[in-house]
Amino acid sequence: MAIPGKNSDLIRRFKFYGFGFAVGLLAVSVIYKGRGCQLPSSAKLEELGWQKLEYSKHAACRMECRHISEAEIIELLGKKEIHGKGKVNYDKSDVHDMPWPTYAIEGITTTGKNLRIVIADCDTISKVVTTIDLKMENDSCECK
């Protein structure tokens, strides 16, 4: 047999807790409305895409040799209003590189090329260091 006052006290506590939880959920949904979760890879890709894009001499030579266009680089990076198709491969990136961390962005372009673009994150500039066509077996480029 239950003690009359104990069950009603427990129910009252659950109601009180439930009301506070509901108010907290409502507050969080109002404060964070429209914001979504973003993985570090997509956040870094978005940051690199918004920065000014420059090319090293080595990258320009590799792009010419491997027939990679600037439009394909922009397509993977996601410059401005275009959503980037690339993903940051942190296994091939060196985020502790000095003086600027380098990120390897990989993806398949609409032309069917499987590319890896190595980009140095220089404060407000994304500098393309090199470009690699991952489908190319023989690389005859002699860029320095």
Quote the number of domains for the chain: 2
142 assigned to some structural domain: no
Tokens representing residue 56 in the block: 């090293």
User: Does the pTM of the predicted model rise above 0.85?
Assistant: no
Residue 78 sits in the same domain as residue 112: yes
pLDDT number for residue 119: 92
Residue percentage of the chain with pLDDT more than 90: 18
- 39-54 pLDDT, tens digit each: 777 778 777 878 888 9
Domain harbouring 112, CATH code: 3.30.2310
138 assigned to some structural domain: no
Give the domain range for residue 115: 40-133
Distance between CA 130 and CA 133 in Å, rounded?
A: 10
Q: Which residue has the higher pLDDT, 79 or 119?
A: 119
51 CB-near residues (< 8 Å, 6+ apart): 121, 124, 125, 126
- For 135, how many CA atoms within 13 A lie in the half-sphere containing its CB? 11
pLDDT number for residue 5: 60
Residue 25 sits in the same domain as residue 84: no
